[in-house]
Structure 1
Amino acid sequence: MEPAPKKHNASKLASEDIISKMPEDVIVNIMDRLPIQYAIRTSILSRKWRFKWTLLSQVVFDVFFCEYLKGLGGENWYDANNINRILFHLKGSITKFDFLIPYGKVLDVTEIDHWMILLSRKGIKEFNLLNIHVTPLTLSSYLFSCVKLEHLMLYNCSLNPTPTFCGFPYLLHLIFYDVKFVNGNFGEYISQCPLLEFVKVVYFNGDPPIGKIKMIEIAKLKKLKCLIFPLCMLDSTALTTSVVFDLVGHFSKLQELSLDLHKCKLIDLAFYVPCFSKFVRESGVGKWVRTSLSCLRTLRLLAVDFGSDIMLSFAIDMIWGSPELQKLYIIPAYNAAIQSPPPPAFCASDFNHISMGQLRLRSIAFTYFRGSKNDIWLMKNLLACSRLLKEILIYPCLSLTTYLSDDEKSMFATKLLDLHRSSSSAAERNIIWDGHSEY
C-alpha cells in the first residue's frame, strides 16, 4: 500500500498575516521613515493596518506634502481642516512636528494654537516652523508650554514670551531665521535654556530686531558647542577683539564659531584699554600673545571689511588666537558686481608670520576674493603659517568673474598660485570661476 502524500503547509503559511503581527515599535519606526502621505496609504495593506498610520510619532507637513495635497484638490486643500484631520487621529506621542506655511497662504492663528496645545500634551521634542509667507507669523504663548522641546527652528516668526516663562530646560538646538521678539528680550529668552549646545541666529530680511543680547545673558550657555551669531546684536557700545574674545572665552566647549560682522562698529585698539585682555598685539612691535580658545575647530567670518585696518586686525586676532583651528571660511564685506577694490589701509609691516606662530588649518575657503593688497597679504600669511593645510578654495568676486578676459583670469590665477607656502604644506589651491576650477 502506497503511503499517503504529505500535506503541504503552504496554505497555512499563506494565511498568516506576518505584516499585521509586527510589534508596534517596529511599525512606528517604519511609519516615521515614510512621507506622511505614504504612511497614510499603508491603510490599504490589510484590515488590521487600516489605522496603523495613527501611530506616527514624527509628523512632517513639508513642501512635498503641500504639493501632494494640491495635486489632489488644488491650492485650497493645504489648509487647517486637512491638517486637523491628520493630527487629531494620532494616538501616541508626537516627538517631531515640521510645518510649512507656503507663500501666499494665510492660516488662522487660533488653529496653530490648537496644534501647539495638542503637541505640548503629546510631549513634542522637535518643532520646526517654516513661514515662507511675506507677513511674519505671530506665535502665541502656547509654544512656551512645550517644555520638553530639544530642537526648535523658526523662520519668519514673531514671539512674545510671557512673564512666567522659565525657559526650555531640555533645549539643545536653537535655530532662528528672521525671528523677532515683541518686547526685545531675546537674550533673556536664550539664557533660560541652560543645556543649549547649538545656537544659530540669522537675519536675511533687513536689520536685526531691536533688543540686544547682554554678555551676562549669553555667557550662561556653558555647554555651547556651536554659535552662529550676528555681532551687531551684542550689547556693547563698541566692539573690540578683547570684547569678542571675552565673550567666546566663556564657552569652554565651543568647537564651531560663525560671526557676522555686518553693521558692526569696531574701535581702534590703540585707543582702547580692555578690561579683559585675552589676546593682545603690542603696539608697533608685532608680538603676539596666544589665547585659550583651544577647542575651536571651525571659524567663519562674514562681512569682513578688508578696507578697514581695524576689522582686518580683528579677523587676524580671531584666526591666530585659535591655535587648534582646522577650518576657516572668510566672506569679505565688499561683494558688489562693479566695485573697485578698497584702498589698502592695513599696515602689513606690523605683522610677521614668524612671530604669529604656526596654525593647524586643514581647509580654507575665501569667498568674493578681489585680489586687493590686503587680500593677497592675508592669503600669503595663511599659506606660510599652515603646514598642515590640505585645501584652499578661492571664489573670485563677481566683478572679476564677469569682466576679466580669459588671459586676465589666467594671470590672476598664476599670481595666487605662485604665493609662497609652508615647505611641509601639500595644500591644493583651487580657484573657482563660475563653477569651473583652476588649479
Structure 2
Amino acid sequence: MHLIQGTHKAPKLAREDLISNMPDDVLTNILDRLPIQDAVRTSILARNWRFNWTLLSQLVFDENFYYYLTRTNDESKLGRIINRLLLHVKGAIIKFSLCMLDELDDADIANWILLLSKKGVKDLAIWKMGIRDQLKLPTHLFSCLELKRLKLTNCCLSPPSTFRGFPNLLSLELHLIRFETRDLRGFLTCCPSLEILISTCTLKAVWIAKLENIKILSMYLSMLDRDIMMRFLDSLPKLQELELNFRTCKLTEGGANKRCPTFFLSLKFLTLTRISLHNGVMLSCSFELITSCPNLLFLEITTENWDADSPPQVDYDILWPLWLRGVASM
C-alpha cells in the first residue's frame, strides 16, 4: 500500500455499498429476520432502500409488534398497517402470524386470508387473546392448499363441504378451537402428511391412529383404556416425541395386570403431565409406558398434589433401569 501525503486511497470495491448490491433473495432473508417495524424502517437508510421492505416474505404481527404500536399510540392502526403491507409486498408471503388483542374488521380478515391463499402462504398462525368471542375464520382459509404449518388459537372453523384437506400440512397446533361444520376427526383425516400434532382440544386415539407419519404428538387424554392407549401408540411407528396430559383423563383398568409386550423403539422424548399420584391405575399405566420405551433419552413428569401419608399402591416390579440423558420432575 502506497501512502500519499499521509493518507491512502481505499480500493474502489471497499467504497461500494455491498449490502445494497446484494441479490434480492439475500436482502429478503436479512429483512425477514428483523422485527417488522425495523424492516420497514430500512426505507430511510438510503434512496435505493426506499422500497426494499416490499421484498418481505414473512409478516409477523405478534405480541411484541402490538406492544410496539401501544407504545407509539398506534394500536388502532393495526388493520390499516396490515392492509398496506399485504397490498405492497411484491412476491410470495411464506409466513404470516397475527396476534389479535383487539377486535379487527371481519371483512379485513377475510380479505387478508384470501390474499394469503393467492400468495402461496406456507406458515400461518392466528391467535386471539382474551376470553371474548372466538374469532370466526373465513372459508378462504381452506383454499390455502400450500400450507405446511398451521397454528390456531381461540378460533371457530367452518370447513366447506368441498374441502378435501391440506395435502402438504406437516405441523398442526390447535388450542380452544370450535368446529361449526364437520368435526376435528374429519379435519384430521384431511391432513394425511401430518408429522407434528399439538392440541389442547379433546382427541380420541382412533382419530390419530391413522396418522402414521406423526413424529411429535402432544395431546390431552380423556377417557382411555390402558390397552387401547398401548395399541394406539403402537400404530404410530415414527413417533419420536410424546406429551400426554392426564388432567382430564379417566383411565379404566383395561387389563392393567397384564404385561404389554409392545416396545416403542422410536420414542426418544416423553413428557407426562398432571399425573394424579392418588390413582394407582394411572401410575401403573405411566410406569409401563416408560418401560416400554427402551431407547428413551429424555423424561419429564409433572404431578398433582397428593397426601404423603397415603402412598398409592403400585406394582414397582415392572420397572427396570433406563439409560436416560435427561430427567425433569415437578
Which one of 111, 119, 143 corresponds to residue 141 of structure 2?
143
Range 308-317 or range 86-95, more displaced? 308-317
Displacement of 1:300: 1.3
Which one of 206, 214, 219 corresponds to residue 224 of structure 1?
214
Displacement of 1:343: 2.9
Contact 1:196–1:224 at 8 Å: present in 2 too? yes
Q: Quick one: which amino acid aligns to residue 114 of structure 1?
A: N
Q: Which residue of 2 aligns with 1:133?
A: 130
Would you say 1:71 and 2:56 are equivalent positions?
no
Q: Kindly tell me: are residues 15 and 307 of structure 1, through their superposed partners in 2, closer, same or farther at Cα, counting changes over 3 Å?
A: closer
Distance 1:64 1:289 in 2: 48
Displacement of 1:360: 2.4
**1:128-175 superposed Cα distances (whole Å, 9 cap, x missing partner):** 112113222111211111110111111111112112111111111111
Displacement of 1:184: 5.9
Q: Kindly tell me: are residues 164 and 342 of structure 1, through their superposed partners in 2, closer, same or farther at Cα, counting changes over 3 Å?
A: farther
Q: Quick one: which amino acid aligns to residue 178 of structure 2?
A: K
Q: Which residue of 2 aligns with 1:264?
A: 249
Q: Kindly tell me: are residues 266 and 289 of structure 1, through their superposed partners in 2, closer, same or farther at Cα, counting changes over 3 Å?
A: closer
Q: Which residue of 1 aligns with 2:26?
A: 26
- 1:252-401 to structure 2, matched below 5 A, reads 252-270=237-255, 281-282=257-258, 288-334=259-305, 340-341=307-308, 343-346=310-313, 348=314, 350-352=315-317, 356-367=319-330
Displacement of 1:83: 1.4
Would you say 1:37 and 2:37 are equivalent positions?
yes
Which one of 170, 187, 190 corresponds to residue 189 of structure 1?
187
Distance 1:325 1:251 in 2: 16
Would you say 1:179 and 2:146 are equivalent positions?
no
Displacement of 1:345: 3.9
Contact 1:306–1:342 at 8 Å: present in 2 too? no
TM-score by length of 1: 0.68
- 1:92-171 to structure 2, matched below 5 A, reads 92-102=91-101, 105-135=102-132, 136-171=134-169
Distance 1:178 1:364 in 2: 30
Distance 1:343 1:268 in 2: 20
Would you say 1:240 and 2:225 are equivalent positions?
yes
Distance 2:47 2:291 in 1: 66
**How well do the aligned residues superpose, as a CA RMSD in angstroms?**
2.4
Distance 1:38 1:50 in 2: 13
Q: Quick one: which amino acid aligns to residue 45 of structure 1?
A: L
Distance 1:342 1:145 in 2: 58
Displacement of 1:191: 1.8
Q: Quick one: which amino acid aligns to residue 20 of structure 1?
A: S
- 1:8-19 to structure 2, matched below 5 A, reads 16-19=16-19
Distance 1:247 1:87 in 2: 43
Contact 1:300–1:329 at 8 Å: present in 2 too? yes
Displacement of 1:359: 2.2
Flag structure 1 segments of 5+ consecutive residues without an equivalent.
Answer: 233-237, 271-279, 283-287, 368-439
Q: Kindly tell me: are residues 55 and 312 of structure 1, through their superposed partners in 2, closer, same or farther at Cα, counting changes over 3 Å?
A: same
Q: Kindly tell me: are residues 69 and 21 of structure 1, through their superposed partners in 2, closer, same or farther at Cα, counting changes over 3 Å?
A: same
Contact 1:106–1:133 at 8 Å: present in 2 too? no
**1:2-25 superposed Cα distances (whole Å, 9 cap, x missing partner):** xxx9xx976976885544322111
Q: Quick one: which amino acid aligns to residue 302 of structure 1?
A: T
Contact 2:205–2:229 at 8 Å: present in 1 too? no
> What secondary structure does 1:28 align onto?
helix
Contact 2:226–2:253 at 8 Å: present in 1 too? no
Displacement of 1:72: 3.1
Percent of aligned positions that are identical: 39
**1:17-58 superposed Cα distances (whole Å, 9 cap, x missing partner):** 544322111111111111111111111222222111101001
Higher RCO (C-alpha 8 Å, min separation 6): 2
Flag structure 2 segments of 5+ consecutive residues without an equivalent.
Answer: none
Distance 2:298 2:14 in 1: 58
Distance 1:263 1:32 in 2: 41
